[in-house]
Amino acid sequence: MNVDLSIASLIWNASLPVQFVLLLLLAASIASWTVIIEKGRMLKQSMAAADDFESRFWSGGDLAPMYRDIAAGSGARIGMAGIFESGFREFGRLKPELALSSDQILEGARRSMRVSQMREVDRLENNLAFLATVGSTSPYVGLFGTVWGIMNTFFALGSVQSATVALVAPGIAEALIATAMGLFAAIPAVIAFNHFADKVGRLEVRFDAFMEEFSAILQRHAAQREGASE
């Protein structure tokens, strides 16, 4: 007796719960790969934008024209550029207020930069939780399909007098396909999540470092303002 153990045949002849599990895992895999490709592109652009902005910022040029370019839309208002734009804008708004001390002006600018940074980090972290969920739950979903397939096999064995490999093989193979599909969906999601989380963490550190360095520059400008007003 010949038994067709091709993957397509096993999936087609699988029980409805196992087919549902396989369909669910396939959808999760497609969705996770969509997120992986999009997130990889986004983080690559963010890294390049941070490199370009830092190169321009530390070139020694005047910061006012840079701010006007970014505020006018000729420069990207995300990442470090967005943090710089929000801090410089708030500093320029508070600087003419003679009733405010330099510390108050600086704190206002830092608060504005912090809000911009939080929004940027939230944008970068978007959908990372989905990858973590797929990576952590897919093996268990596949295991459910495996248990169901093996359970059906044992039920089938209970109604026959002698068990043969030809009788047992389809059910076991069906169960193992569910396990393999769970791993197929989970492994790329886990690898991508760890890789992207590391990149987001590195960008966040760079944002923090830039905020401290830019705050030092603004502090010097605020001190010059107080010295000129005395």
Domain-embedded: residue 108: yes
What average pLDDT score do residues 128-152 get?
Answer: 89
Output the pLDDT for position 227. Answer: 56
Give yes or no for residue 170 having a pLDDT over 80: no
Domain-embedded: residue 2: no
Domain-embedded: residue 175: yes
pLDDT confidence tier of residue 73, bands split at 50, 70 and 90: confident
Domain-embedded: residue 104: yes
Which of 60, 49, 62, 120 minimizes the C-alpha distance to 86?
120
Domain-embedded: residue 1: no
Q: From CA 192, how far away is CA 176, in angstroms rounded?
A: 25
Domain-embedded: residue 185: yes
Residue 169: strand, helix, or coil = helix
Output the pLDDT for position 67. Answer: 87
What average pLDDT score do residues 208-222 get?
Answer: 89
pTM, two decimals, is 0.82
Q: Compute the CA torsion angle 196, 200, 201, 207 (nearest 10 deg).
A: 160
Could you give the angle at the alpha carbon of 88 between the alpha carbons of 87 and 94, nearest 5°? 90
Number of structural domains (the chain) is 1
Domain-embedded: residue 64: yes
Could you give the angle at the alpha carbon of 98 between the alpha carbons of 93 and 101, nearest 5°? 90
State pLDDT tens for residues 103-124. 888 999 999 999 999 999 999 9
Q: Which range has the worst mean pLDDT, 11-25, 83-97, 209-223?
A: 11-25
Tokens of 107: 């704190």
Q: From CA 95, how far away is CA 59, in angstroms rounded?
A: 25
Angle between helices 79-94 and 102-125 (to 10 degrees): 160
Of 177 and 87, the one with more pLDDT: 87
- Domain housing 140: 7-229
Could you give the angle at the alpha carbon of 42 between the alpha carbons of 38 and 47, nearest 5°? 150
Domain-embedded: residue 84: yes
pLDDT confidence tier of residue 202, bands split at 50, 70 and 90: very high
